[in-house]
Structure 1
Amino acid sequence: MKTSPGLLYSVLDLSPILEGETAAQSFRHSLNLAQHAEKWGYHRYWVAEHHNIPGVASAATSVVIGYIAGGTTTIRVGSGGIMLPNHAPLVIAEQFGTLESLYPGRIDLGLGRAPGGDQATARALRRGLSSSGDTFPADVQELQQYLGSALPGQSVRAVPGQGLNVPLYLLGSSTFSATLAAELGLPFAFASHFAPELLHQALDIYRSQFQPSRALEEPHVMIGVNVFAAETDAEAQRLFTSLQQVFLNLVRGRPRQLLPPVEGMDRLWTPTEAAYVDRMTRCSAVGGPESFRQQIEVLLNDTGADEIIATAHIYDQQARLRSFEIAADVFQSLRGSAH
């Protein structure tokens, strides 16, 4: 149940693999960021499930969560999210029941219905599973049952997991999960950091159809925002080109490891590609401290979000840390203010 006053601010991390580095180095960078985020007042630190993508190391999401939680002490740690159709709900209940047993009161379970990769990868992951995006509502409710109080005569139980009530969050980039989150009375996180087109429609549906539950009395809206803050607008824009290259390579069907920033994108993309990437990254705040703050205020006024979950594909680790530090100062100053 939402009790924290004012704006909450959190981190979404894909443990990006830098060009020329390894997944092992990416995990160390992630833990380093999580330890700083804890110090800077971030509420939660989520990692995301993706598969067969050269620049993303967080495929075994629950394992990474354990690593992050073990290296921190107070920040909530969880998934943003587990792609539930890839897994049997019982397995996820056991994994997150284990995490909650090891790190009590600190584990979140965010759930998505996308594959987290291409269709060939989804088939490889789901061999023998009947789950799909179509079975997602039933899978969520089955998972809730494994984590809730056991029913009389319940023959299959999650051990550990049963009765631990790990909090669930639904993630989405369309109106489907908004409707389901409203129906089940769960918090809703919109993937506006890469798919902003249906943001307002989804939030309107979620808020208007929300049904209070044992988990949540009022709607709780989280929005994904790309945060690229630096000492100057020009430096922030330069850092942002790493993310622009990520989306450009996705558009071209050639995903790569995270590339260093460049001085400008004009020589790298066509006008059509530039327009597409701009649409995908519209929910971003890029600038020096003052312009960054103004952009965040616009996003909050526009969405009325209860929580920002910030993500940043920044190549240089020190620049990445500095971006999240500047962002934390801005978020902290906005806590409790009207938006």
Structure 2
Amino acid sequence: MASTRSATFSVLDLASITEGSTPAVSFRHTLDLAQHAERWGYNRFWLAEHHGMPGIASSATSVLIGHVAGGTSTIRVGSGGIMLPNHAPLVIAEQFGTLESLYPNRIDLGLGRAPGSDQAVSRVLRRGLGAGGEDFPELLSELRAFFKPNSAPVNGIVRAIPGEGLDVPIWLLGSSGFSAQLAAQLGLPFSFASHFAPDYLMPALEIYRNNFRPSETLEKPYAMIGVSVTAADTEREAKRLATSQQQAFLNMIRGRFGQLPPPVDSMDGLWSPYEEAALLRQFGFAVVGDKEQVKNRLQAIIADTGADELIIASQIYDHQARLRSYELIAEARQEIG
């Protein structure tokens, strides 16, 4: 293991809709979590774009970012991420230009190239079959041009108002080497989705760091990694809380998408041996335990990966238990130093 080092901690929220609840309740819980996260010293609070999923309410990501930023004071708020091929770059420039104008120096624009849903939703969003993410570099270049101060209008006539001249930090997000390579070439910060693609984490970080070119944005690489964490006062309770996310993943691989289910005492009898193996592989990077266990595991992850920042995702059914999880993680961060 590498020498001990510290990292900044942030929050990734999906505005999960729990069984029997509604998006309105999820939005209240999201804001409450963000307000607590601000008090507990988290660096940023990101929301992810997903569509057509009964258990995720963050589809109108820019709108929800405004809701969270308006209810907080200092924590950075942004997207983790906006799936750029779903949108016209001008629209995203205007939306995030508006957010930055309302909440100066607090808005992040994390971008991904996946659809954030299935092909049927992609067709509806993109109004055709020609935009599957392969044009992401061109879309990104167009988006960045809209933010440049005193630049020539895109296509000779189009300007983003608001947006033009505003410093909205752009991050590239990914779960493979594509965005790692592009972020390195452009000198942008990079966030890897290791909470659902753990096998590709180290190769992607190597690609990013080995090919990084300094830019006006960054002098050296800056890597953030996603980590799924469930913390509780006891290991037993943490393992029980984690079964909500495990059940949700089990339903997903069976093709059944629903709201986040309540935890169960044991997953025995709920999965086949094959499904159990697939789930354990998927969550091989997940951290589940009491504060000491979480602290030790996160410390090891920071040391092994050299991550500059961890963004913590915790899909927990009970809102108070989720708050407690993030509180314990914040305490662990203080002890790591």
TM-score in same-fold range (> 0.5) = yes
SS of equivalent to 1:255? coil
Q: Equivalent residues in 2 for 1:74-93 (5 A)?
A: 74-93=74-93
Alignment partner of 1:77: what SS? strand
Deviation at 1:165, TM superposition (A): 2.1
Q: Please show how residues 1-339 of structure 1 align to structure 2 within 5 Å.
A: 6-127=6-127, 130-152=130-152, 154-335=156-337
Q: Which amino acid aligns with 2:268?
A: D
Alignment deviations for residues 292-314 of structure 1 (CA, whole Å, 9 cap, x no partner): 11111221122110000001110
1:132-166 CA distance string (max 9 Å, x none)? 31000111111111112232464211000001020
Q: Secondary structure at the match of 2:181?
A: helix
Per-residue CA deviation, residues 183-236 of structure 1 (Å, 9 max, x unaligned), is: 011111000111111111000000000011111111111110111111011000
CA drift of 1:277 comes to 1.0
Q: Distance in 2 between matches of 1:95 and 1:35?
A: 23
Aligned counterparts of 2:304 and 2:314: Cα–Cα separation in 1: 21
Q: Whole-Å Cα distance in 2 between the matches of residues 276 and 51 of structure 1? A: 24
Q: Is the 1:34–1:72 contact (alpha carbons within 8 Å) kept by the matching residues of 2? A: yes
Instruction: Give the Cα–Cα distance (whole angstroms) in 1 for the partners of residues 280 and 186 of structure 2.
Output: 34
How far residue 128 of structure 1 moved from its aligned partner, in angstroms, is 5.4
Amino acid at match of 1:289: K
SS at match of 1:120: helix
Q: Is the 8 A contact 2:231 2:328 kept in 1?
A: yes
1:87·1:129 contact (CA, 8 Å) conserved in 2? no
Q: Match for 2:291: what amino acid?
A: P
- Structure 1 CA distance for aligned equivalents of residues 182 and 279 of structure 2: 29
C-alpha distance in structure 2 between counterparts of 1:48 and 1:319, whole Å? 21
Given the superposition, is the C-alpha separation of residues 129 and 119 from structure 1 closer, same or farther in structure 2, using an over 3 Å criterion?
Answer: closer
RMSD: 1.3
CA distance in 2, matches of 1:249, 1:33: 26
Secondary structure of the 1:49 match is: coil
Which whole-Å CA distance do the structure 2 matches of 1:130 and 1:251 have between them? 27
TM-score, structure 1 as length reference:
0.95
- 2: distance between equivalents of 1:299 and 1:239? 22
Cα shift at 1:130:
5.0
- State the Cα deviation string for residues 42-62 of structure 1 (Å, max 9, x = none): 000000000011100000000
Match of 1:13, as an amino acid?
A: D
Inter-partner Cα distance in structure 2 for 1:211 and 1:247: 37
Q: Which runs of 5+ in 2 are unaligned?
A: none
* 1:241-276 Cα shifts (integer Å, max 9, x gaps): 001011111111111100000001111001111111
**Residues 314 and 320 in structure 1, CA contact (< 8 A), matched pair in contact too:** yes
Q: 1:271 and 1:6 mapped to 2: Cα distance?
A: 38
Amino acid across the alignment from 1:29:
H
Which sits farther off after the overlay, 194-203 or 130-139?
Answer: 130-139
Q: Match for 1:204: what amino acid?
A: E
What SS does the aligned partner of 1:240 have? helix
1:312-332 Cα deviation digits (max 9, x unpaired): 110001100000000011112
The offset of 1:6, in angstroms, is: 4.6
* Secondary structure of residue in 1 paired with 2:198: coil
| Fraction of identical pairs, as percent | 61
Q: Quick one: structure 1 residues 95 and 118, their matched pair in 2 at CA, closer, same or farther if it must change by over 3 Å?
A: same
d(CA) in 1 for partners of 2:76, 2:101: 14
Instruction: Please give the secondary structure, in 2, of the residue aligned with 1:133.
Output: coil
Distance 1:248 1:219 in 2: 36
Secondary structure at the counterpart of residue 276 of structure 1: helix
CA contact (8 A) 2:6 2:302 kept: no
